[in-house]
Structure 1
Amino acid sequence: MAKAPKTKVTTEKPLERYVRMLEIIAGFPGGISPSTVGEMLDLPKASAYRLMRSLADVELIEHTAPRAATFKLGQRLERLLFSGASDAWLIAIARPILNELAERTGQACFIARLVGTSVRSIDMVAPDNQLRAYIVPGHEIPSHAGASAKAILAFQDAAFIATVLDRPLVQFTSATKTEFTKLLEELQFVRKTGVAYCVGEDVDGFGAIAAPIQIKGQRTLYSLCVTGTNHALFDNDRELKVAHVKNLAARLSRILEEKISRDLKVAV
């Protein structure tokens, strides 16, 4: 009696095919068609299109143009990669910007990052004075009182903002705002002007000016901030300092956007 032919055992894990597709698509930033991907993976065109359609449905890939037949990596995947990246690469890129801002303003400057639901300083250029303890890397910035935190928080979605601010908040000084509606009004101002302020709201006598670091297609996670005494920041050349912060934050945003675009292929 003839033996029945053995059934080929598939050892490929369920998600492996999707991962291999993403690796291929990452290598073609200008876009690649399902038929080409199918050929590279030895898949029928219909199967390749179905799998790529599933990736597109969850925004891990997207069409290169509205009616194009080619796909590229999607913004959701780019956001995941950006959000999970180490701060070391950003610090290396941002340090010259921090030095330039410190030189132009004569004040302490730092970069802040949103981590979970809190904002923390990650790098600074500061004079040897009491501000060093105030903005030492890793220091948490009060989301309702710190300019660097407001500059980030203003560009989050409403539900996230409510989670962070719609609760009892610490009254650090007489200038600290703790009322949710007032804080929402201030964040609306930040979105409109692109700049956030702290005027003695977390430490008496000290203030800050901050601007978001915004990268196209990415969640706003970082801000650039200058801090010092209220007198040093606001009594002389206030608008010039604001312009420096906004302009250098915009320059850093462009630099980071270009780097992310170049490195995305390697990262995937």
Structure 2
Amino acid sequence: MARSIQSLERAAAVLRLLAGGERRLGLTDIASAVGLAKGTTHGLLRTLAKEGLVEQDPTSGRYRLGAELLRLGSGYLDTHELRARALVWTDDLARATRESAYLGVPHGQGVLLLHHVFRPDDSRQVPEVGALHPLHSTALGKALAAWDPAVRAEASKGALEAFTELTVVDPARFGAELERVRARGWASDVGETWDGVASIAAPVLDRGRAAVGAVGISGAVERVLAEGEPRPWLVAAVRDCARSVSRELGAGRF
């Protein structure tokens, strides 16, 4: 087995640190968080800054992620086949449901958003492409975990975090929920991650019938639900979108 390159591992740890939590950190904070000497950390930051991967504020001296990461991330999105295949269908989904539409793929213990279509109204909205959402409390995450054993194992690692009073944190209840999701073909969450927000999602399958992603919508509970349940026409729209993207990937009819 090939040995990893320690300097690259350390640089990756610094980038991950700056990508989460407090986005601007000083040298001492970064060194402490990644467990390295200040001199070693300063050398890493200097090299990352030279490559445009981090930037240092000239006033405070604190570090943040650099603009070069945006270019690299855009390149990843532009070459991602699933995203390319799903663009038209997720745009249509947002237009038909008048809710925000999302495309996500599994990434560690989360769902990485590859595409986000704004709700087609005049409200102020924040782009979420690149955001990492929880696996166990979101409709996208449940749809992925219900069809992929590896994702299910990731979602069940350690204690399940409670984001609201409605988040399912009991492993047995979570497992039963995934069985229901697989049986009916779609997933939902109602206030499990964000208060007052409900979501519906369905898996995207490839030629081998493996779940490679999930599409879904998210909106205010009062718009997404009727009498406490997801509106059937919204569920149908999400499932139709997932089927269409799956057919683009060669899954055939299902």
Q: Same fold (TM over 0.5)?
A: yes
Asked if 2 retains the 8 angstrom alpha-carbon contact of 1:107 and 1:227, the reply is yes
Q: Describe how 1:181-196 pairs up with structure 2 within 5 A.
A: 181-196=172-187
2:242 maps to: 249
Q: Tell me how far 1:86 sits from its aligned partner.
A: 7.4
Task: Mark the runs of 5 or more structure 2 residues left unpaired by the alignment.
Answer: 1-75
- 1:114 aligns with 106
SS of equivalent residue, structure 1 residue 144: coil
Distance 1:213 1:258, change over 3 A: closer
1:90, CA displacement in angstroms?
2.5
**CA-CA distance at 1:218 after TM superposition:** 5.0
Q: What corresponds to 1:212 in structure 2?
A: 203
Q: Distance in 1 between matches of 2:207 and 2:247?
A: 9
Q: Quick one: structure 1 residues 204 and 245, their matched pair in 2 at CA, closer, same or farther if it must change by over 3 Å? A: same
Q: Return the alpha-carbon distance in structure 2 between the equivalents of residues 180 and 87 of structure 1.
A: 36
Higher strand proportion: 2
Gaps of 5+ in 1: 1-83, 260-268
What SS does the corresponding residue of 2:242 show, helix, strand or coil?
A: helix
Kindly report the root-mean-square deviation, in angstroms, between the aligned alpha carbons of the 2 structures: 2.5
TM-score (norm 1): 0.59
> Do the aligned partners of 2:77 and 2:83 also contact (CA within 8 Å) in 1?
no
* Kept after mapping to 1: 8 A contact 2:206/2:249: yes
Does residue 1:240 correspond to 2:233, yes or no? yes
Name the aligned partner's letter for residue 194 of structure 1. Answer: G
Asked if 2 retains the 8 angstrom alpha-carbon contact of 1:109 and 1:126, the reply is yes
Aligned residues: 173
What is the identity percentage for the equivalent residue pairs of Structure 1 and Structure 2?
A: 28
* Deviation of the 1:106 alpha carbon: 0.5
Instruction: Determine the C-alpha separation between the residues in 1 that align with 2:179 and 2:96.
Output: 28
How far residue 131 of structure 1 moved from its aligned partner, in angstroms, is 5.3
Counterpart CA distance in 1 for 2:237 and 2:181 is: 16
Q: Within 5 Å, give how 1:1-268 maps onto structure 2.
A: 88-127=80-119, 129=123, 132=126, 136-157=128-149, 161-217=152-208, 219-235=210-226, 238-257=231-250
* Secondary structure of the corresponding residue to residue 154 of structure 1: helix
Q: Is the contact made by 1:102 and 1:109 (CA closer than 8 Å) also made in structure 2?
A: yes
**What is the TM-score of this pair, normalised by structure 2?**
0.62
Give the AA of the match of 2:130. G
Please give the secondary structure, in 2, of the residue aligned with 1:153.
helix
Q: Structure 1 CA distance, aligned partners of 2:171 and 2:87?
A: 35
Determine if contact 1:151/1:196 at 8 Å carries over to the other structure.
Answer: yes
Aligned equivalents of 2:79 and 2:193: distance in 1? 25
On the 8 A contact 1:166/1:180 being kept in 2, the answer is no
Q: CA deviation at 1:219?
A: 3.1
- SS of the residue corresponding to residue 132 of structure 1 reads coil
Structure number with the bigger relative contact order (C-alpha 8 A, sep ≥ 6) is 1
Change (3 A) 1:130 1:178: farther
CA contact (8 A) 1:131 1:228 kept: no
* CA distance 1:95–1:122, change in 2 (3 Å): same
Query: For residue 155 of structure 1, what is the amino acid of its counterpart?
Result: W
- Cα 1:155/1:246, change in 2 over 3 Å: same
Q: For 2:175 and 2:192, locate their aligned partners in 1 and report how far apart those are by CA, in whole Å.
A: 16
Distance apart, 1:87 and its partner CA: 5.4
Q: CA deviation at 1:221?
A: 2.2
The code of the aligned residue for 1:240 comes to W
3-state DSSP class of the match of 1:101?
Answer: helix
Please give the alpha-carbon distance, in whole angstroms, between the structure 2 residues aligned to 1:105 and 1:87. Answer: 28
Question: Does structure 1 retain, via aligned residues, the 8 Å contact 2:207–2:251?
Answer: no
